[in-house]
Amino acid sequence: MPDNRHLFKKYIAQASDFAPFCIDVEKGEGIYLWDKAGKKYIDFISGICVNNVGHRHPVVTKAIEEQMRKFLHVMVYGEFIQQPQLDLAAALCARLPSQLQKVFLLNSGSEAMEGAIKLARLYNHRSQIVSFSRSYHGSTMGAMSVLGDPPIRRRFDPLLPDHLLLEYNDVAQLEKITDKTCCVVAEVIQSGSGMTEATPGFMEALRRRCTQTGALLVFDEIQSGFGRTGKLFAFEHYGQVPDVLCLAKGMGGGMPIGAFVSSPELMSLLDNEHPLMGHASTFGGHPLSCAASLAALEIILGPQVLPLVEEKGRRIRHHLQDIPQVVSVSGKGLFLAARFQDEKLTARVQERCMANGLITFWLLFNHEALALTPPLVITDEEIDRSMDVFKRSVREASL
């Protein structure tokens, strides 16, 4: 069998300065991936919160196949009526509050974030954009402008001007949001910093301050959405509704899709004056992705998935209590991060997990923690088996 690592490095533009694991994927099914040598892995990160219904869920692949026989791309987003887009948007709106009833379909999370920021600009024409330290909102220039890590951001300067970074969960700092603020972008649970939950008081104060000042509140639920935290969207835990909601990742059941959702009044700012010059996308809401997304949404909302997520999360937490090297666990539902004593041990645990066939992953702004975000369809028995591998890997890493 050819060793593809050389070709991978030669032809595929690299996103990391290291590519430590390079699993050469042959197949995915349920919570499992197989490499070309036949090694089986448990995907305990769901391809970074994408495969919430597992890999190649049969209902998702059936929906893709059925749509594939009808039409693929037909026209730039927003010109023709496409049934998969209608069905998906209607199903989403049926689950969202009355303030969020219009969906702009795109291809990725970064594009959704761009759309949200542009919408805010059109709404109040203010310049300042606020975000929080240790947050990640995407890799395009607008989304990079609100990255919560100034040294990394600076490499791409000049980005969007007039950006203000605040500390997450610091209610006092919210005073810095003023009538000069265009929008505030926030994750409801910060993934990159290690599944840091907002405190209820912070969420409430943030919503209040945005309403007082006329700044739009944009929630980035690109990772936390679609059942990950035990509710369809994490903001439901807090009872605070944003003005704009950004979605992607788990939305597509393994297919590429993203969206931002807002009110009909706000969204109308994008459709007047200059057709297709508000926000546009050739492939936005691709029919295959929409068909897959609706199937995934129905699976997540079914009796076997969403109602069981919190209990499964507790099961993982219970196992983690047996591991003395784990100093803390954060997150909600199956959106969890386990923190170790130091970065070196964390890296060794990840490496041992991978060797033992359990995929975990590091976090952008917290190198002491590992993400534990398995597919929501994982069974109790599969959790127990995965956590046995995790415990063994921690033991080996500690030798």
Distance CA 224, CA 380 (A): 21
Sign of the alpha-carbon torsion through 162, 167, 168, 172 = negative
Minimal CA–CA distance to 205: which of 156, 170, 179? Answer: 170
Q: Is 137 in the site for ligand PMP (CB under 6 A)?
A: yes
Q: Please say which residue, 116 or 387, places its beta carbon nearer to ligand PMP.
A: 116
Residues 341-380 that bind ligand PMP (CB under 6 A): none
Among 64-72, 130-138, 193-201, 294-302, which window interacts with ligand PMP (CB under 6 A)? 130-138
E-assigned strands of the chain? 25-29, 32-35, 40-43, 102-106, 128-132, 163-166, 181-187, 189-190, 196-197, 216-220, 244-247, 258-262, 326-332, 335-340, 358-359, 361-363, 366-372
Q: Output the smallest distance, CB 380 to ligand PMP, in A.
A: 27
Q: Please say which residue, 113 or 216, places its beta carbon nearer to ligand PMP.
A: 113
Q: Output the smallest distance, CB 359 to ligand PMP, in A.
A: 16
Q: Output the smallest distance, CB 139 to ligand PMP, in A.
A: 6
Q: Is 168 in the site for ligand PMP (CB under 6 A)?
A: no
Q: Please say which residue, 191 or 346, places its beta carbon nearer to ligand PMP.
A: 191
Q: Is 51 in the site for ligand PMP (CB under 6 A)?
A: no
Question: Is 370:336 a contact under the CB 8 Å cutoff?
Answer: no
Look up residue 14 and give its amino acid: Q
Q: Please say which residue, 67 or 108, places its beta carbon nearer to ligand PMP.
A: 108
Q: Output the smallest distance, CB 175 to ligand PMP, in A.
A: 26
Q: Which residue is nearest to ligand PMP (CB)?
A: 109
Adjacent-strand bridge partners of 245:
219, 261
- Choosing from 85, 223, 262, 281, the residue that interacts with ligand PMP (CB under 6 A) is 223
Q: Is 220 in the site for ligand PMP (CB under 6 A)?
A: yes
Minimal CA–CA distance to 46: which of 287, 365, 382? Answer: 382
Q: Output the smallest distance, CB 35 to ligand PMP, in A.
A: 23
**C-beta atoms surrounding 26 within 10 Å:** 12
Distance CA 5, CA 3 (A): 6
Q: Is 191 in the site for ligand PMP (CB under 6 A)?
A: yes
- CA 308 vs. chain centroid, Å, equals 20
Residue 251 DSSP one-character state: G
Q: Please say which residue, 248 or 295, places its beta carbon nearer to ligand PMP.
A: 248
Q: Is 229 in the site for ligand PMP (CB under 6 A)?
A: no
Q: Output the smallest distance, CB 187 to ligand PMP, in A.
A: 5
Q: Please say which residue, 109 or 397, places its beta carbon nearer to ligand PMP.
A: 109
Count of residues for the chain? 399
Q: Is 262 in the site for ligand PMP (CB under 6 A)?
A: no
Among 131-139, 175-183, 292-300, 311-319, which window interacts with ligand PMP (CB under 6 A)? 131-139
- Choosing from 54, 109, 225, 333, the residue that interacts with ligand PMP (CB under 6 A) is 109
Q: Is 108 in the site for ligand PMP (CB under 6 A)?
A: yes
Burial of 363 (0-12, 13-18, 19+ CB in 10 A): buried
How far does the chain reach from its first CA to its final CA, in angstroms?
Answer: 34
Question: Is 200:207 a contact under the CB 8 Å cutoff?
Answer: no
**Letter string b/e over residues 98-121, b meaning 16 or more CB atoms within 10 A of that residue's CB:** eebbbbbbbbbbbbbbbbbbbbbb
Q: Output the smallest distance, CB 49 to ligand PMP, in A.
A: 7
Q: Output the smallest distance, CB 232 to ligand PMP, in A.
A: 17
Residues that bind ligand PMP (CB under 6 A): 48, 108-110, 113, 136-138, 187, 191, 220, 222-223, 248, 258
